[in-house]
Amino acid sequence: MTTFNERLHPRGQAANAGQFAAKSNDAPHAGLAADESTSRFIAIADQHDRAEWAARMEALQWERRVRQASLEKFMALAAAHAPSDATHAIFDEESGTVELIGWQNIAGDQLDEEPFDGHQLMGFEDSHHLRDAGFEFDDHSFRWVIELREPEAARRDLHESAVNWGTDAHYIDDRVRGDGALGAFLSGVARRSPEIGVSLAQLTDQQVASVNRDFEAFTSLMASKIRGGVQG
């Protein structure tokens, strides 16, 4: 068997100059194009993908708010019931449960007073959540410690009625879009405005369609401004 010699290749011969210049391949067979029914399913899958993303972002936001509310509730209870010389609270984390087990003074000594029974923090499923909330891990006791402080006022959009308004907002989204975008936008507005929250469930299909058109115009305008800002 002889080795390859590029000088023997047809394209390399002077007598063949230009011989392959006009060579072209046939267009792909129409059967290679995506089937129309397949394209429809792919489009539906894409819609659900965007809806899943929007719902997941909403869920993550609410999980964060649950942790915030749980911690502020504890701070309020501690302000009312903690020993007068307590400056920190001690929590034990085990199997996803974060439970109050004691108090600590400014010198770092654990106090003898018992904590109020069975208080657990909700939504703190791992160490990242605890660190983000201001907890510090004590390497000697293997416990989590947080400094006591004044509790913050409850968020208006965490009240029960506000949660219901957020549900109404996503129901409106289901009636017209289905990708979660309008619902996510309206739920934030509704939680901050009782008047809008009450009105959401009363909208007719025609009014919902009008709201969606305004929302489309708004998002288009914002997209143009963002593109303009990036290009500028």
pLDDT in tens, 45-89: 887 887 777 777 777 777 888 898 899 999 999 999 999 999 999
Helices and strands (H and E) in the chain: how many: 6, 5
**Orientation angle between helical segments 181-192 and 36-81, nearest 10 degrees:** 30
- Provide the CB-side half-sphere exposure for 68 (13 A, CA): 13
Which of 7-21, 35-49, 76-90, 154-168 ranks highest by mean pLDDT?
76-90
99-131 pLDDT, tens digit per residue, is: 999 999 999 999 998 887 768 899 998 899 999
Please report which residue ranges of the chain form alpha helices under DSSP H: 36-81, 127-132, 160-176, 181-192, 194-200, 205-231
> Given pLDDT bands bounded at 50, 70 and 90, which one contains residue 2?
low
pTM (2 d.p.): 0.55
pLDDT the model gives residue 104: 94
